[in-house]
Amino acid sequence: MNRRHSFALLLALVSTLVPASLEAAEEKPEPDDLWKSGSASVVITPSRPMPMSGYAGRKSNPSEGTEQDLFAKALAIEDGEGNRLVIVTTDLIGIIEKYRKDVEAAVAKKFDLPRKALVMNASHTHCGPSYGRDESVDYYDELVSKTVKAIGEALNSMEPSRLYYSSAKCSFAMNRRTPSPEGFRNHPNPEGPVDHTVPVLSVKNEEGELKSVLFGYSCHNTTMGFMKWLGDYAGYAQEYFEADHEGVTAMFMNGCSGDQNPYPRSLLYFAQRHGRTLATAVEAALETNQRAYFHQHELTGTVRSTLETVNIPFTEESKRGTYDYPVQVISFGNTLSMIGLGSEVTVDYSLRLKRELGSEDGPAIWVSGYTNDYNGYVPSKRVLLEGGYEAKSRPWQPVLEEKIVEKVHALHSGL
């Protein structure tokens, strides 16, 4: 008997000694590799003329119609151990404190969802309602009700899923701080710092069909400033992607956009072009029409989340004291970490945190602003000391950046 036949006989003998139950156990996924997910979407376009948010020059003039519907969307995720996370995205100027607290209380009572497991992000469209005013109470109550309903539908529709992280690039965002003899001007600066990354979390069912995409970008959602309801470039990006992928829920999370603007701007077709550009970047991140995938990083392990506040100080001269600033960190095993920062943080926060927390063998770092709170600009120390529009908005002490970053590091290392 030659060597080849001897080896074949040995393999046959070994195979008869392996129990069928052991083979089945090897094929069965580990509990912490199982995910469930579900998504839902609800229209939140006001049904009547209302004051609009975003620009002080509008004063109290009401809206003049609808160019595009506004949405609140929810993505619910559960790992193999039963840990849950719900991400809510909205076509709003920001997440005001009362809105966050009212939704948080409702979903804790109805769905036993803890505070730390709820993420709320606003696209920062300047063509949405000023929903926190006294004259907007009827709309506000409806907004809270619809948001809670979307969360419930997302939780109730969860099914076995696979989750992936990937990214691409998109370049219509430009730094808007241009140095001049009179100081920093609000003007496009092609040499200023930017973050053109488009992070994408994609969800597929057991058959490999795409069900949801959550994507981000660091750019003010302000191509337009007219008097009609509009999701702006972020609204169009979601609309176009969903039109190209029937049955898929597309969701947008704004990043660290405090000093970033879309250029060119002020014409509707620029908002549409930027939206198409961003939607195409999401396709690129998904490696659409590629025969092989090299950049889809499947999420494994468990989802962990934490949400705390850090006291950031105003200047002593302002006599405002400190502000409880929310910081949220979510980890998906060792593959992805999502960091949610409140208000309008400048791009330095994204660039710094990705540099300090990211590594080749560690998780990808995804940083979002406009998350869980909205209280104006939160500039980096550099921007604050340089001056200009973003720096003059609030009288912060320069220590604010270090306090926020220190809190992110502490929460990230504790997960």
What is the tens place of the pLDDT at every residue in 76-86?
Answer: 999 999 999 99
The arithmetic mean of pLDDT across residues 5-26, rounded, is: 39
| Interstrand relation of 322-332 and 344-345 (parallel, antiparallel or unpaired) | unpaired
- Give residue 34's pLDDT: 84
What is the Cα–Cα distance from 113 to 92, expressed in whole angstroms? Answer: 23
Ramachandran angles phi, psi of 350, nearest 5°:
-65, -50
Task: Identify whether 123 is part of a domain.
Answer: yes
CA pair distance 261, 176, nearest whole angstrom: 6
Nearest one of 310, 308, 315 to 404, comparing CA atoms: 310
Res 10 pLDDT > 70: no
For residue 16, is it within any domain?
no
**pLDDT for the residue numbered 248:** 98
Residue 321 Rama label (left phi>0; alpha psi -120 to 50; beta): left
Residue 47 scores a pLDDT above 50? yes
* % the chain with pLDDT above 70: 92
Q: Is the pLDDT of residue 8 over 60?
A: no
Q: pLDDT above 90 covers what percent of the chain?
A: 89
pLDDT of 166: 98
pLDDT of the residue at 11: 39
pLDDT of amino acid 222? 98
* 3-state secondary structure (DSSP) of residue 123: coil
Q: Give, for 95, the enclosing helix (H) or strand (E).
A: none
DSSP code, position 181:
T
Does residue 4 form part of some domain? no
Residue 161: exposure state from Cβ atoms within 10 A (0-12, 13-18, ≥19): buried
Task: Give 350's pLDDT tier (boundaries 50, 70, 90).
Answer: very high
pLDDT, tens digit, 9 for 90 and up, residues 281-326: 999 999 999 999 999 999 999 999 999 999 999 999 999 999 999 9
Radius of gyration of the chain (CA): 23
Q: What is the structure's pLDDT at 360? A: 85
Q: Does residue 6 belong to any structural domain of this protein?
A: no
Asked, for residue 312, whether it belongs to a domain, the answer is: yes
Answer yes or no: is pLDDT of 384 > 50. yes
pLDDT at position 348 is 98
Range of the domain at 193: 32-415
Q: What confidence tier does 67 reach under pLDDT thresholds 50, 70, 90?
A: very high
Mean pLDDT of the chain: 92
Nearest CA-CA partner of 345 in 290, 288, 384 = 384
Helix axis angle for 400-414 and 347-357, nearest 10°, is 40
- Looking at the predicted structure, is the pLDDT value of residue 259 above 70? yes
Asked if 90 contacts 125 with a C-beta cutoff of 8 angstroms, the reply is no
Determine the average pLDDT of the residues in 154-174. Answer: 98
pLDDT band at 25 (very low <50, low <70, confident <90, very high): very low
Q: Could you give the number of structural domains in the chain? A: 1
Instruction: Look at residue 12 and tell me whether its pLDDT is greater than 70.
Output: no
What was the pLDDT predicted at 17?
A: 38
- Does a structural domain hold residue 8? no
Report if residue 1 sits inside a domain: no
Position 19 scores a pLDDT of 40
Q: Is the CB of residue 371 less than 8 Å from the CB of residue 328? A: yes
What pLDDT shows up at residue 56? 74
The answer to whether residue 74 scores a pLDDT higher than 70 is yes
Residue range 326-345: mean pLDDT, rounded: 98
pLDDT at 13 over 60: no
Asked whether residue 23 carries a pLDDT value surpassing 50, the answer given is no
In degrees, rounded to 5, the angle at the alpha carbon of residue 31 between the alpha carbons of residues 29 and 34 is 75
In a domain? residue 17:
no
Q: Is 59 a residue whose pLDDT tops 80?
A: no
Tokens for 377?
């600009």
pLDDT of the residue at 61: 82
Nearest-10 crossing angle of helices 232-244, 268-285: 50
Q: Mean of the pLDDT values across residues 213-224?
A: 98
What per-residue confidence (pLDDT) applies to 55? Answer: 85
Provide mean pLDDT across the span 328-345.
98
Q: What is the mean pLDDT of residues 119-139?
A: 96
Query: Hey, which residues does 388 pair with through a beta bridge?
Result: none
pLDDT number for residue 33: 60
Q: Please say whether the beta carbons of 85 and 162 come within 8 A.
A: no
Give residue 60's pLDDT.
73
- Residue 120, both tokens: 């709320």
